[in-house]
Amino acid sequence: MRKLLCSIALTGLLGLGMTGFAQDQSTAPAPPMHGPRGQGFSPDKQLEHLTKTLNLTSDQQTQIKPILENQQQQMMQLHQDTSLSRDDKMAKAKSLHEDTTGKIEAVLNDQQKQKYEAMQQKMQERMQERHGGASGDAAAPPAQPQQ
């Protein structure tokens, strides 16, 4: 189940190279998410990556940062919620990811959106490769952002 939650986190965390969800959040205030080689992927790191990759303006950065922070907070709460089934968590994570993606795309110009969508497609392909192309909605979420 933990591996599956990591997969959910990938979707929700915009897939900016992340392969896992932060471990237990109950004792530490908002620790960074951890990427494939141990890099932290906090909302600040995600924003830094998007800024570099998409050439975000300072106005865009100001608009996107709270979107990323809100998503991280909601994903942490979802991860810690023991009352939900795995399928319910996956559905909520997918919905959260779609909502976040839509909000971010609304801030981007047409050229940036194209690049962002390409990042999502690349992430989706990587996730399918890593998880053996398993069937089902959770294994093949909508396009994921990626580096």
Amino acid occupying residue 130: R
- Confirm whether 145 is domain-assigned: yes
Is the full-model pTM beyond 0.85? no
| pLDDT tens figures, 22-65 | 333 333 344 444 444 433 478 999 999 999 999 999 999 999 99
- Confirm whether 8 is domain-assigned: no
Q: Supply 5's token pair.
A: 């939650």
- Confirm whether 22 is domain-assigned: no
- Confirm whether 146 is domain-assigned: yes
Q: Please state the domain count of the chain.
A: 1
Rounded (5°) CA angle 130-25-141:
30
Cβ count near 129 (within 10 Å): 9
The per-residue pLDDT string of the chain (147 residues; one tens digit each, 9 = 90 and over) reads: 444 444 444 444 434 333 333 333 333 344 444 444 433 478 999 999 999 999 999 999 999 999 999 999 999 999 899 999 999 998 999 899 889 999 999 999 999 999 999 998 898 888 888 877 554 444 444 444 444
- Confirm whether 32 is domain-assigned: no
Amino acid occupying residue 65: K
- Confirm whether 72 is domain-assigned: yes
E-strand ranges in the chain read none
Give residue 125's domain range. Answer: 44-147
- Confirm whether 5 is domain-assigned: no
